[in-house]
């Protein structure tokens, strides 16, 4: 795995700016993933995922999903089940369904490993269902590239308020 960072004496990796351009195709893929979730196009959203998928929303950054409680920790089978349930349209927590739009910004390449690229970004999601709720945080996408186009391997969502009280998360974040 190649971690994308520079180090010089006196400058930590976390604070030193490193310019590694995000492949425009991968940026477009992340924006498409966000739009499909916003528009409740669940089956199209699910089709972006590879077979070894992991969709994770931890309660805190640094949590271990094997040892700590998570809001969401889906493998491919559980993700398929979640989408099937969303496609029924009969979810009490989503009646009426939320109207959503999100902004994704500050895309950074964190690592490259063969055909897989890890990209972090910030997001703000505006959800309206009786009242406006703003969700914010950081996404970490692991995307596999190949002749068939990009495939989503992992998506981790770090909510800025993940350690506090979180409203019902009955949609794709």
**What pLDDT does 5 receive?**
47
- CB neighbours of 118 closer than 8 A, spacing ≥ 6? 109, 110, 111, 112, 140, 141, 142, 143
| Cβ–Cβ under 8 Å, residues 116 and 143 | yes
| Secondary structure E strands in 49-98 | 49-58, 70-75
| Predicted TM-score of the model (pTM) | 0.88
**What pLDDT does 15 receive?**
73
Q: How far is Cα 18 from Cα 67, in angstroms, rounded to an integer? A: 33
Q: Which helix (H) or strand (E) covers residue 88, if one does?
A: helix 76-88
| Cβ–Cβ under 8 Å, residues 121 and 106 | yes
Q: What is the pLDDT along the chain (173 residues), one digit of tens a residue?
A: 555 544 444 445 567 766 788 999 999 999 999 999 999 999 999 999 999 999 999 999 999 999 999 999 999 999 999 999 999 877 777 778 889 999 999 999 999 999 999 999 999 999 999 999 999 999 999 999 999 999 999 999 999 999 888 888 888 99
């Amino acid at each position: 795995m190649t971690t994308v960072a520079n180090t010089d004496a006196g400058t930590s990796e976390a604070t030193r700016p490193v310019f590694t351009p995000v492949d425009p195709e991968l940026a477009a893929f992340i924006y498409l993933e966000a739009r499909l979730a916003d528009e409740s196009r669940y089956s199209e959203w699910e089709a972006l995922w590879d077979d070894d998928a992991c969709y994770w929303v931890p309660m805190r950054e640094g949590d271990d999903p094997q040892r700590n409680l998570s809001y969401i920790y889906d493998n491919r089978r559980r993700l398929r089940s979640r989408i099937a349930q969303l496609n029924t349209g009969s979810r009490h927590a989503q009646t009426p369904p939320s109207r959503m739009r999100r902004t994704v910004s500050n895309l950074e390449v964190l690592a490259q490993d063969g055909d897989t690229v890890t990209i972090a970004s910030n997001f703000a999601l505006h959800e309206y269902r009786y009242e406006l709720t703003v969700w914010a945080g950081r996404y970490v996408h692991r995307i596999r590239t190949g002749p068939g186009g990009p495939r989503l391997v992992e998506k981790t969502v770090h909510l800025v308020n993940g350690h506090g009280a979180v409203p019902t998360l009955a949609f794709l974040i």
